Amino acid sequence: MNLLDLISRDTTLRKVANTHGGEYVGPCPRCGGRDRLRVWPHAETPRFWCRQCGWSGDAIQYLRDHDGLTFREACTRVGRPLDDSPHAKEAPVPCPPRLAVPPSATWQARGGVFYEAAEARLWEPPGARALAYLHHRGLTDDTIRAAQLGYHGVETWEEPQLWGLAADQKRIWLPPGIVFPWLIGSELWHISIRRIGDTVGIEPRYVVVSGSGNTLFGVDTLQPNAPAMLVEGVLDALSVLQEAGDLLAVVATGSTTGGRLERWVGRLSLASTVLVAFEADDAGEAAAWWLMALGARAKRWRPYWGDPNQLLQDSVDLRMWVREGLGSESRWWRDVARWSDDHRERWGERAAILEVDGGLSRGEAEHAAYRLMRRPRGERLV
């Protein structure tokens, strides 16, 4: 069975070019679409590749990924003789998945003392510069307080034993900067520090406190069968939560490889849809990994430029961007975007009144205000 026959069992392919002996396209069996999958069955090395989720390989890899076969079973299926090397005769023992476990109780206790002191300091005179920086990034006081952000003012080094780590490990580096605690319920999993100051170079801008666990920021906000957004930076996550947190859950990886554990992938896979909203300049390896891991539930949703926090700083309507990504059937917010600034301001005021006095969610209040004001008297829509 050749590669073309094999993949044609699961999707419809059509020839579109003569590249490498013939190029075929069709929906990807893993992530869907119309023409995402590319197949070169007659090339010197027959292979396939999905330009959306990044899935690629040969016939053996296809059978192992799609049908769940072992290497030996896949070779038998396509009639390929096994190599005589001992590595081919014995299938490698798979490594167990890395476990997502929180740091020790000692680490969490010491980390709690650290971030709580930093949280208090942010609202005192020593934290004025850090607080001004967060305001400059577009965050409100309510958002900052809800996330329990803090400020650590002096570079310190602490012994690893104080954090429950082995004595032979390096001392714990706590540079001055903005402190981000990553909490899951009552458990402290992770602490990152965003360095600020005249002496901070390009790298490392963010420092992870040694001993932190591998998780996703905001993972406990995920709900089954509800939409979610995946971003890289914590400031990006807080920006979207601030402007559109009633529309979807938002989680952040903190780095290009953060959160890649079975437990967190499983939590995300329960969402109705996941908007993968890493930086706009390049889809990158990070976005491709998550699109492949989450399959059909994931959707690449690039910011208009930069990242979500940059959009917030540039006064972009993040709620509209999120709504477009979710693809809601109703498109009433597009009418609002065409209103004059004065009429939009009155609409926002009316929505706020309805939210408070009517006990509505923010989205419900905005929609209700739109219905009341969709035909502004004496004013043309622009």
The verdict on 112 and 193 lying in the same domain is yes
Say how many domains are in the chain: 4
The verdict on 152 and 170 lying in the same domain is yes
Distance CA 286, CA 250 (A): 17
**Amino acid, single-letter form, for residue 368:** A
Count Cβ atoms below 10 Å from residue 142 Cβ, excluding itself.
9
Distance CA 135, CA 123 (A): 13
Q: What is the pLDDT of residues 51-99, one digit of tens each?
A: 777 788 888 888 888 888 888 888 888 887 765 444 444 545 555 557 7
The verdict on 192 and 280 lying in the same domain is no
The verdict on 323 and 340 lying in the same domain is no
Domain harbouring 315, CATH code? 3.40.1360.10
The verdict on 322 and 356 lying in the same domain is no
The verdict on 37 and 120 lying in the same domain is no
Q: Which domain holds residue 345?
A: 335-373
The verdict on 194 and 274 lying in the same domain is no
By the 8 A CB rule, do 229 and 324 touch?
Answer: no
Q: How confident is the model at residue 244 (pLDDT cuts 50, 70, 90)?
A: very high
The verdict on 357 and 341 lying in the same domain is yes
Q: What is the pLDDT of residues 11-51, one digit of tens each?
A: 999 988 887 788 899 998 887 778 888 898 888 888 888 87
The percentage of residues in the chain with a pLDDT greater than 90, rounded to a whole number, is 46
Predicted structure pTM score = 0.67
Domain harbouring 31, CATH code? 3.90.580.10
Tell me if 360 is assigned to some domain: yes
| Nearest of 316, 318, 222 to residue 277 by alpha carbon | 318
The verdict on 69 and 114 lying in the same domain is no
Beta strands in the chain (DSSP E): 14-17, 23-28, 32-40, 47-50, 56-57, 150-152, 156-158, 172-174, 177-184, 187-195, 206-208, 228-231, 249-252, 274-276, 298-300
Tell me if 227 is assigned to some domain: yes
pLDDT surpasses 60 at 175: yes
Tell me if 213 is assigned to some domain: no
Say what the pLDDT of residue 284 is. Answer: 63
Tell me if 378 is assigned to some domain: no
The verdict on 137 and 198 lying in the same domain is yes
pLDDT surpasses 90 at 226: yes
Tell me if 359 is assigned to some domain: yes
Tell me if 95 is assigned to some domain: no
Say what the pLDDT of residue 332 is. Answer: 66
Say what the pLDDT of residue 85 is. Answer: 42
The verdict on 173 and 229 lying in the same domain is no
Name the one residue in this structure whose structure tokens are 């909490």: 183
The verdict on 188 and 277 lying in the same domain is no
